[in-house]
Amino acid sequence: MKFGIVKTVALSLMTGAMLSGASAAQDGVATTDTSGKKIAFSNSYAGNSFRQVMIKSFEAMGAKAVGEKKIAGTTVVSSNNSVTEQASQIQNLILQGYDAIIVLAGSDTALNGAIKDACDAGIVVVAFASGVTEPCAYVVDYNLDSYAKAEMDYISSKLGNKPANILEIRGMAGDGFDKRLNEGVKKAFQAHPNYKKVGEVYGQWTATVAQKEVSGILPSLPQIDGVLTQGGDGYGAAQAFKAAGRQLPIIIMGNRQDELALWKQEHDANGYETFSLGATPSVSQVAFWVAQQLLAGKKMPKFIEVPLLQIQQTDLDAWLKTVPDGGVVNADYPQELVAKIIDANVKKEPLPLVPAPK
């Protein structure tokens, strides 16, 4: 009888140790062989510098992973902002036998049918930066409430609580990222009741479009004290204010080279100060490694939050040196860093931040 008790206790301890080991094994990189797996990237739009660098970042990391025999291959398809075409492309990727499909969607709902078909076929689907609502997809994204709050908080740090007129430059009508960031902006305004939104335009994350749209609305607007942006539109907004003979308001920049160069030029000339933040184009690498780690069996929540890259006045010169003309501030996300981001999400711990270059 005593032997039976001892044996039971011993087995319980062994089982506990095995379970503990299995739990601990979830930390870090999952190493199950995925060398025979293929990962596709379905992109809704490639018409600006951010999206172009995003694709190159994905391709570079994918090529490295193929070279290291972590996967068998990758492909990228873009749909020129047509959700019908993107849905058709996803169906083709299903038929072509891809093991995982990464989706940057042109709509948060219109691709749900195609995404569900992929999941039903046993394919891992990872949507990023686009707010897909199909529950079977894993989502890699930023906290867009935090994005909007950081913009408004910076303006408040410079203007205080006195009344101020704000212009909002949005992205592309109907896009999931734009809609969610706009919801964050609405919440940020609630925290600053003395600030009034006096205008709104769609800049499509592109300097030329933003300049045209801001130029068109400026004659009807009062003095503008701050401009909220979504990335890629800060330089165009500044050019519109200059062309109209208006003083530059606080324009939140979006980590583009032209924005940072203008910011530095204005700071050197007259002490102009602002703040820059945004998604990195290489968030596509985070989505890539999340897909690969899912294929390798790593357990994770359906939503993986990614840290925003922020640039303060003191870091401007250091970041500007790293960006090619016409480019976007970027940072690689290797497999080990993405595993740490996943683990931080699992444990609900602070996310590892992207440090300024030395």
* Residue 189: how many other CB atoms lie within 10 Å: 17
Return all residues near 284 (Cβ < 8 A) that are at least 6 apart.
41, 54, 55, 57, 58, 61, 102, 104, 128
Confirm whether 31 is domain-assigned.
Answer: no
304 and 343 share one domain: yes
Indicate if 167 and 263 belong to the same structural domain. yes
pLDDT at 42: 96
Residues 120 and 79 in one domain: yes
Q: Which residues contact 134 (CB under 8 A, 6 or more apart)?
A: 111, 112, 115, 116, 119, 125, 127
Q: So what's the pLDDT on residue 25? A: 40
Residue 224 in any domain: the answer is yes
- 262: CATH: 3.40.50.2300
* Same structural domain, 269 and 156: yes
Boundary (domain end) residue, out of 257, 278, 299: 278
- For residues 122 and 188, state if they share a domain: no
Same domain, 157 and 271: yes
102 and 149 inside one domain: no
pLDDT at 93: 98
Note the pLDDT of residue 183.
97
For residue 61, being part of any structural domain is answered with: yes
Per-residue pLDDT of the chain (358 residues; tens, 9 = 90+): 333 433 333 334 344 433 333 333 468 999 999 999 999 999 998 887 788 889 999 999 999 999 999 999 999 999 988 999 999 999 999 999 999 999 999 888 999 999 999 999 999 999 998 778 999 999 999 888 989 999 999 999 999 989 999 999 999 998 888 999 999 999 999 999 999 999 999 999 999 999 999 999 999 999 999 999 999 999 999 999 999 999 999 999 999 999 999 999 999 999 999 999 988 889 999 999 999 999 999 999 999 999 889 999 999 999 999 999 988 898 889 999 999 999 999 999 999 877 788 7
In a domain, 315, yes or no: no
Task: Report how far apart the first and last C-alpha atoms of the chain are (Å, whole number).
Answer: 67
Asked if residue 282 lies in contact with residue 338, where contact means CB atoms within 8 angstroms, the answer is no
Task: Note whether residue 287 is domain-resident.
Answer: yes
Domain ranges, residue 174: 144-278
Same domain, 80 and 136: yes
Task: Assess contact for 200 and 173: CB atoms under 8 A.
Answer: no
Number of domains in the chain: 2
Same domain, 193 and 203: yes
118 and 159 belong to one structural domain: no
In a domain, 206, yes or no: yes
Domain-located, residue 324: no
Task: Determine the Cα–Cα distance for residues 232 and 207; give it in Å rounded to an integer.
Answer: 6
Give pLDDT, residue 80: 85
335: Cβ contacts below 8 Å, ≥ 6 apart? 29, 65, 70, 289, 292, 293
Q: Are residues 44 and 132 in the same domain?
A: yes
From residue 119, give the alpha-carbon distance in Å to each of 77, 85, 94, 102, 289. 19, 19, 9, 12, 18
Same domain, 217 and 132: no
